[in-house]
């Protein structure tokens, strides 16, 4: 299934082969190999490949407006960051890229599997704090734009649910009770990140023909899968085609987030459907 996602991003990665590795990244000596970090090399962690693709694009292919954007934010002192490097900003751009193209599934995989809610980690010149990366992801996911899913419906509810889970984890790590600051959205202090998200998303809007956004059509497509994944009576009923992988991953995370569906059952169902597709291809 990772191959199916990489096919969507071939412009950024070229010909890619997914392999498990201790540290995620696109190796300089292995340009055609995407290394997926343990322990996320599973159905639930597949969307994390979006960040690695975005990082590869930022480092190797990024030009024009995006290059100027990265260099501009790296050159200007930012609140809470000691002279952020180009690499620092590229990591944030990769999060915007992955959220812009994969939407909810990447946000869930990042916030619930990969990122640490601790705010006490000091900022580094070459690597953003996890809480700052989370802010960028949430801001990108919730940003209103012409291509974004419609607001006010199920999508808004799911994003709010994910945000609440993350904020609660950040409060707990900081020693704050859930009731404390309950009326306020607990977010990091780096407001420059919001401007970065806005300008980066606007740049990606100009690349829609290369990198299709996670839009309302994709959200509606995921709802065709939502509700049936993991059901005993429907296990393996409908094969998953390659172009449906992003929609299935979104629906799977929605099942976990909203319905508290059993992860193993949902994952086994997806594997069965994907295997069935392979047999008839």
Q: What is the pTM of this model?
A: 0.83
Neighbouring CB atoms inside 10 A of 146's CB total 9
Domain range enclosing 240: 219-280
Query: 10 lies in a domain?
Result: no
What is the rounded CA–CA span in Å between residue 86 and residue 70?
Answer: 6
Q: Which of 133, 115, 143 lies closest to 204 in space, CA to CA? A: 143
Q: How many helices (H) and strands (E) does the chain have?
A: 12, 3
What is the rounded CA–CA span in Å between residue 152 and residue 2?
Answer: 31
What is the rounded CA–CA span in Å between residue 139 and residue 156?
Answer: 13
Query: Both 110 and 144 in a single domain?
Result: yes
| Per-residue pLDDT tens digits of the chain, which is 281 residues long | 888 877 777 766 565 544 444 445 443 333 444 444 444 457 899 999 999 888 888 887 556 778 888 888 887 766 666 667 889 999 999 999 999 999 999 999 999 999 988 876 777 778 898 999 999 999 999 887 766 677 767 888 899 999 999 988 888 887 754 444 443 444 545 578 899 999 999 988 888 778 888 888 889 999 999 978 877 555 447 888 888 999 999 999 999 999 888 888 999 999 888 888 765 44
Query: 145 lies in a domain?
Result: yes
Query: 173 lies in a domain?
Result: yes
When divided into structural domains, the chain yields a total of: 2
Would you state the structure tokens that stand for residue 200, as one six-digit string? 């980066």
Query: 121 lies in a domain?
Result: yes
Query: 37 lies in a domain?
Result: no
Query: Both 101 and 206 in a single domain?
Result: yes
Query: Both 97 and 231 in a single domain?
Result: no
Query: 181 lies in a domain?
Result: yes
Query: Both 224 and 199 in a single domain?
Result: no
């Amino acid at each position: 299934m990772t191959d199916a996602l990489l096919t969507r991003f071939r412009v950024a990665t070229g010909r890619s082969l997914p392999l498990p590795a201790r540290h995620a990244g696109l190796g300089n000596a292995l340009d055609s190999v995407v290394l997926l970090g343990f322990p996320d090399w599973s159905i639930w962690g597949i969307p994390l490949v979006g960040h690695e693709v975005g990082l590869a694009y930022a480092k190797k292919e990024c030009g024009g407006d995006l290059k100027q954007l990265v260099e501009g934010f790296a050159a200007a002192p930012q609140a809470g960051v000691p002279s952020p490097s180009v690499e620092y900003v590229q990591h944030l751009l990769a999060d915007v890229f992955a959220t812009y193209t994969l939407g909810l599934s990447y946000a869930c995989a990042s916030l619930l599997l990969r990122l640490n809610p601790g705010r006490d980690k000091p900022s580094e010149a070459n690597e953003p704090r996890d809480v700052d990366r989370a802010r960028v992801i949430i801001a990108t996911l919730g940003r209103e734009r012409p291509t974004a899913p419609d607001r006010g419906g199920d999508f808004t509810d799911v994003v709010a649910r994910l945000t609440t889970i993350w904020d609660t984890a950040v409060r707990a790590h900081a020693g704050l009770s859930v009731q404390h600051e309950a009326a306020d959205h607990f977010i990091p202090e780096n407001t420059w990140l919001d401007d970065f998200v806005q300008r980066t998303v606007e740049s990606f809007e100009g690349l829609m023909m290369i990198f299709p956004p996670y839009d309302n059509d994709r959200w509606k497509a995921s709802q065709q899968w939502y509700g049936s994944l993991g059901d005993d009576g429907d296990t393996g009923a409908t094969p998953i085609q390659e172009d449906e992988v992003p929609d299935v991953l979104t629906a799977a995370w929605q099942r976990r987030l909203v319905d508290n569906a059993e992860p193993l059952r949902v994952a086994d169902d997806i594997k069965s459907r994907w295997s069935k597709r392979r047999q008839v291809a």
